[in-house]
């Protein structure tokens, strides 16, 4: 959706599916770079402290990007001779909670959409946004158009949800970091959920959660393929996110490597080692609507312990201030807060880890050989994550990709993001 010509190509692609007999609902994102442009304008005017009132207006502002692209796509479809109509989130309506800038969908009424589909129209619904109980416009966070699309597909009980993005599927890791990363023909829902939660930028985690909860068939495709590609070939391309685990999946010990640079580490040192102390610290963080990821508590020494956890880098300063102002004064003398905003998380994911031993030790040995120090570790049944210094993240990803046999034979060329 980066230009009117690309919007015209989207319309042609949609027309191809309609002419093949499919009923189509399209959930577009904003034009490339538009959301960043709007938020940059707001940043020039924004006061030092971001209040709920400011967040409300940021949502009202950011939502206009998707409204513009939806209307433009509807016009382009009509130019292709198709009946079309665009709906904003509140016209559907897509109902959300009131967590501005990162709202969660509560319900979708698909009746307006169904009526238009029955009239033979292509329906375009603005992604990324909804409306709360007080009729305020809300947005779902960056990448929220994926979530909107899957949620609408679930509400309509669609046959399939196709996510067109700037890569042609799900890769073993980011091809911009590992040039010979491989595209996966299929991946299990569990693995995709882990990869999305651990930093893979292909799909927003909530879109995968919706797909899993409502069993929505989901396929990731490239928006860069020619619009006139054979329909059957297009339908088989990309990566299928499946709910069935087959023999091929079981053979892959590790299916992918995810990483995120958007991490910060916070440690509360010298806290009393008493029942409820973790809740006293992390409860206050949760009440401020700040998400915590990796958590580690050290062994007690002289009745004191240290608690470390990670948050997104955008919440780093706010979390530090919250702890220093409202939590530490209640914990007694000797307690202090320190932080490091320059860390990254690297994770290996694979359902094959359930039945193979020594996977974590291979990860640790590989990083040790590259002199990469591990600061924190967390594991689950199908993933192991480590927190490391940010400057080593690409080295870590490349070495692990090779160590687990994920390297492909040829270089993969991937278009760069425009916005």
Which H or E run contains 247? helix 247-251
- Tell me the mean pLDDT in the region 317-328: 94
Instruction: Round the average pLDDT of the chain to a whole number and report it.
Output: 90
- What residues form the annotated binding site for substrate? 35, 66
Q: Is 395 a residue whose pLDDT tops 70?
A: yes
| Helices within 20-104 (DSSP H only) | 34-45, 52-79
Per-residue model confidence (pLDDT) at position 49: 81
CA proximity to 283, closest of 323, 255, 340, 337: 323
- Phi then psi dihedrals of residue 271, to 5 deg: -90, 150
CA proximity to 257, closest of 358, 130, 161, 344: 344
Say what angle helices 144-156 and 205-214 make with each other, to 10 degrees: 10
Which H or E run contains 117? helix 111-118
- Domains present along the chain, CATH in parentheses: 4-250 (3.40.1160.10), 257-403 (3.30.2130.10)
Q: Is 407 a residue whose pLDDT tops 90?
A: no
Count the residues in the chain. Answer: 419
Q: What is the DSSP letter of 202?
A: S
- What residues form the annotated binding site for ATP? 165-166, 171, 176, 201-202
The tokens of 143 are what?
């990448």
CB neighbour burial string for 21-41, b if at least 16 within 10 angstroms, e if fewer: eebbbbbbbbbbebbeebbee
Per-residue model confidence (pLDDT) at position 162: 94
Q: 3-state DSSP call for residue 286?
A: helix
Model confidence at 414, in pLDDT bands (50, 70, 90)? very low
- What residues form the annotated binding site? 35, 66, 165-166, 171, 176, 201-202
Q: 3-state DSSP call for residue 411?
A: coil
Model confidence at 310, in pLDDT bands (50, 70, 90)? very high
Can you say whether the dihedral through the CA atoms of 32, 34, 40, 46 is positive or negative? negative
| Helices within 288-386 (DSSP H only) | 316-322, 359-369
Q: Is 418 a residue whose pLDDT tops 50?
A: no
pTM here?
0.76
């Amino acid at each position: 959706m980066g230009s009117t010509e690309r919007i015209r190509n989207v319309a042609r692609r949609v027309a191809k599916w309609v002419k093949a007999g499919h009923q189509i609902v399209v959930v577009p994102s904003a034009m490339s770079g538009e959301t960043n442009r709007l938020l940059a304008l707001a940043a020039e005017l924004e006061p030092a402290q971001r209040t709920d009132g400011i967040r409300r207006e940021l949502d009202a502002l950011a939502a206009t990007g998707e409204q513009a692209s939806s209307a433009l796509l509807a016009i382009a479809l009509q130019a292709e001779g198709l009946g079309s109509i665009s709906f904003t989130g509140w016209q559907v309506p897509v109902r959300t909670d009131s967590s501005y800038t990162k709202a969660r969908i509560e319900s979708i009424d698909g009746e307006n959409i169904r009526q238009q589909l029955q009239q033979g129209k292509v329906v375009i619904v603005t992604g990324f946004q909804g409306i709360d109980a007080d009729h305020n416009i809300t947005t779902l966070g960056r990448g929220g158009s994926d979530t909107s699309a899957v949620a609408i597909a679930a509400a309509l009980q669609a046959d399939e949800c196709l996510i067109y993005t700037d890569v042609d599927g799900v890769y073993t890791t980011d091809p911009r970091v590992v040039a010979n990363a491989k595209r996966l023909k299929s991946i299990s829902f569990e693995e995709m959920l882990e990869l999305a939660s651990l930093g893979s930028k292909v799909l927003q985690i909530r879109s995968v959660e919706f797909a899993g909860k409502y069993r929505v068939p989901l396929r990731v495709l490239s928006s860069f393929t020619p619009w006139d590609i054979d329909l059957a070939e297009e339908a088989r391309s990309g990566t299928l996110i499946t709910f069935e685990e087959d023999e091929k999946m079981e053979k892959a010990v590790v299916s992918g490597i995810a990483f995120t640079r958007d991490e910060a580490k916070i440690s509360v040192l010298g806290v009393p080692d008493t029942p409820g102390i973790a809740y006293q610290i992390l409860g206050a963080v949760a009440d401020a609507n700040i998400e915590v990821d990796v958590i580690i508590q050290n062994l007690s020494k002289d009745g004191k312990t240290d608690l470390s956890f990670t948050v997104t880098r955008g919440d780093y300063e706010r979390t530090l201030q919250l702890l220093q102002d409202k939590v530490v004064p209640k914990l007694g003398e000797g307690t202090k807060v320190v932080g490091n905003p320059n860390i990254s998380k690297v994770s290996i994911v694979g359902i094959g880890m359930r039945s193979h031993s020594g996977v974590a030790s291979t990860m640790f040995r590989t990083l040790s050989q590259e002199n990469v120090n591990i600061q924190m570790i967390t594991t689950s049944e199908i993933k192991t994550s480590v927190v490391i210094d940010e400057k080593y993240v690409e080295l870590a990803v490349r070495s692990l990709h090779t160590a687990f046999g994920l390297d492909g034979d040829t270089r993969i060329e991937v278009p760069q993001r425009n916005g």
